[in-house]
Structure 1
């Protein structure tokens, strides 16, 4: 089982509150979804719902969304107002190419489609709402190509260069009940949930909108179980101090039934303490996080018990400049790295014609593998997310891997990539 402590959540405030035509011009949103605070990282269901509903200016639609889509957003608005149901649909693709591999396979491509939502069924409009959240996705390699999630292993890297883009097919990655208490100061969650998206994340950790390389999203010195059954709670001690914690099925994975893996009775335990200098409304950006974790021995995988700590810090300056850093230490072989350290910078870019969701990101890091048979690996990534339309973005990127951990015969590999995302 999994447990996650959730305080009163919040999302980042770097946004463009531009108006638009028709129904979409109401309150800077397309369907009227409120920007509900969330302590989950940028990949969380409730975070993505509100972020995707915010009106953004695109290069080809500087005033916001196109009027042709107003009936669709009006329909979503009615569902929310009448029944408390919010949802979004998105389609993503990723192509990557490496300049050198051990296997001769240098290209990878995949698509990812998903539907996610939140249905408030208890105390809608009140101070202690209860809601059902869900996410269903389909991931397929493109035209027989290798999936990007496996490309890095073709040249000896131990870190996934195409996070989120595998060929796993259909899976249910979240089905959970979220309940608020004490006016939102205490919150609980239970169901099929992520074991890692709550901890040690930055505002740029989303594989759909931020960095693609797993090592640039969060410290890989911690164990990283997949999605499984979970139950949790959280608490806001003060407006500036929050704890997020959990107990997770250490064998959880989106590709297997959570009822099968939970039977092993092996768990991942985590607690993260956060200092939020500017409160919950900016917690996605302005935060210092200290995570401590422990994982039981995994009999089937032959892994001994392991433990470690991870630290993350970031701050948004002038609603534009976002420097961040994270790293960690672990004891045992349950994680990819025994020690790692990553630093990066995000820059929110407006243009003269529009307030936009464009973002430039760059990060670099070092990792010392938990296995003595592997060498230290250095990784860097740079991307630019260009918002073409309010609901459509393209993201070219470059990754550089120095000294691939499992390939001492290669000094450097360069990967180029192009990601697309449309959501409605």
Structure 2
């Protein structure tokens, strides 16, 4: 049975608000006395399931440290650690809410929405270094409007932008949006993953690619020249070639959806999305210690190529493209540059580019980050102008479990509103992770 999430469904709103209230109480607590020590697992980005769990379970320096329910959080941390020790099960619970408003000379639009998620992994094989690691990963989630009829994902487009100012914050019925098995081989130099996967979290990595904890706008996150299916049945593989070198590739159902199993579209329609990537991360020495993090650190350079079959039911043509990305860390400053090209009309944009930097350890708080990025998009529709944008965010870790992030985007020449020269998009994101 589906759970209706449209504005006005009283039961859903009551449950959502109750969940937010409960998590808000927990967010005001102290850190874990027995913190779960991360083992640096994970396939790629900050939004990959093992890395979401790792982040939630890692103690963080914060501004506020109230003693409310400290004993509860100590017991919570001890419970999670005991579950991991006994059965190899790790999990995290998170609630993220976004408030957004967009304003131009001719338009005004507001929106509010949230995401609730439960992420888990279960290490079936190789626990304690006894052999090659094999684990199951999954995500239960729901996304909904809250206090407003417009979801944040739709605010900027409704006000004239060709891309979203809060990618991922739309509406989605409660669902098991990911469920996959991952096998590590050859002393963790090779990773294989198959099942229902979110390709966005695996490919075209860079450090601030996360609408949960970093940039909100689509250009700095969900590369608008790659037609990623949001969640799809498929297969991915990664290999560490040399110290610093890696390759990643995968094939997925181009019509995948987070709310459907996907066997019908994969085997009946047979329309595929294929992607491959080769990269170099010179600040990470691969393969010396089994079990170490596959993600690159502050230095990463890669080239990604993709192909998407024509999708007949929605009238989207066949397309292909590539993306080049580079980031280089200089202490607490990590500048980056990205470019994407799409051929064939499978995406809204023909070309895309962005540059920017992340500033970490802000004011001495190790979990605080400031990000600033500039982006440009060239639409396939020749009747639309090129669009430019500047985005800045400041993620403040107020308590060990709660981060507050104001975000500002200024869009120059909004492509679908030729009457306006500027569109301002103002957001506030709160995230609780336990």
3-state SS in 1 of match to 2:206: coil
Contact 2:103 2:109 in 1 (8 A): yes
CA shift for structure 1 position 180: 0.8
3-state SS in 2 of match to 1:151: helix
CA shift for structure 1 position 25: 5.1
Q: Which residue of 2 aligns with 1:148?
A: 152
Aligned CA RMSD, in angstroms, stands at 2.1
Q: Which residue of 2 aligns with 1:338?
A: 350
Contact 2:390 2:410 in 1 (8 A): yes
CA shift for structure 1 position 308: 1.0
User: Which stretch shows the higher mean deviation, 359-368 or 39-48?
Assistant: 39-48
Aligned CA distance change for structure 1 residues 222 and 22 (closer, same or farther; 3 Å) = closer
Query: Is 2:130 the counterpart of 1:117?
Result: no
Contact 1:97 1:107 in 2 (8 A): yes
Query: Is 2:373 the counterpart of 1:363?
Result: yes
Q: Which residue of 2 aligns with 1:311?
A: 324
Q: Which residue of 2 aligns with 1:245?
A: 249
Contact 1:226 1:250 in 2 (8 A): no
For residues 179-234 of structure 1, the C-alpha deviation after alignment (integer angstroms, 9 at most, x for no partner) is 11112111111111012222223111111100000111253222222211112222
Map 1:221-300 onto structure 2 (within 5 A).
Answer: 221-262=225-266, 263-279=268-284, 280=286, 283-300=296-313
- Of 161, 172, 184 in structure 2, the residue corresponding to residue 168 of structure 1 is 172
Map 1:179-198 onto structure 2 (within 5 A).
Answer: 179-198=183-202
Aligned CA distance change for structure 1 residues 54 and 403 (closer, same or farther; 3 Å) = same
Contact 2:139 2:177 in 1 (8 A): yes
Map 1:15-164 onto structure 2 (within 5 A).
Answer: 24=32, 30-36=35-41, 38-61=42-65, 66-100=70-104, 106-126=109-129, 127-164=131-168
Query: Is 2:401 the counterpart of 1:391?
Result: yes
Higher relative contact order (CA 8 A, sep 6+): 1
User: Which stretch shows the higher mean deviation, 280-289 or 129-138?
Assistant: 280-289
CA shift for structure 1 position 105: 5.6
Q: Structure 1 unaligned segments of length 5 or more: list them.
A: 1-20
3-state SS in 1 of match to 2:128: coil
Q: Structure 2 unaligned segments of length 5 or more: list them.
A: 1-28, 287-292
Contact 1:224 1:335 in 2 (8 A): no
CA distance in 1 between partners of 2:277 and 2:162 (Å):
26
3-state SS in 2 of match to 1:80: helix
CA shift for structure 1 position 253: 1.9
User: Which stretch shows the higher mean deviation, 88-97 or 190-199?
Assistant: 190-199
Aligned CA distance change for structure 1 residues 101 and 120 (closer, same or farther; 3 Å) = farther
TM superposition score normalised by structure 2: 0.86
Q: Which residue of 2 aligns with 1:324?
A: 336
Aligned CA distance change for structure 1 residues 237 and 253 (closer, same or farther; 3 Å) = same
Query: Is 2:394 the counterpart of 1:379?
Result: no
CA shift for structure 1 position 114: 0.5
Q: Which residue of 2 aligns with 1:7?
A: none
CA distance in 2 between partners of 1:48 and 1:315 (Å):
23
Aligned CA distance change for structure 1 residues 294 and 184 (closer, same or farther; 3 Å) = same
CA shift for structure 1 position 86: 0.1
Contact 2:193 2:237 in 1 (8 A): yes
CA shift for structure 1 position 123: 2.2
Q: How many residues align?
A: 395
Contact 1:221 1:327 in 2 (8 A): no
Which has more helix, going by share of residues? Answer: 2
Query: Is 2:361 the counterpart of 1:349?
Result: yes
CA shift for structure 1 position 97: 0.7
Contact 1:43 1:206 in 2 (8 A): yes
CA distance in 1 between partners of 2:207 and 2:341 (Å):
22
Aligned CA distance change for structure 1 residues 101 and 284 (closer, same or farther; 3 Å) = farther
CA distance in 1 between partners of 2:150 and 2:260 (Å):
21
CA shift for structure 1 position 68: 4.1
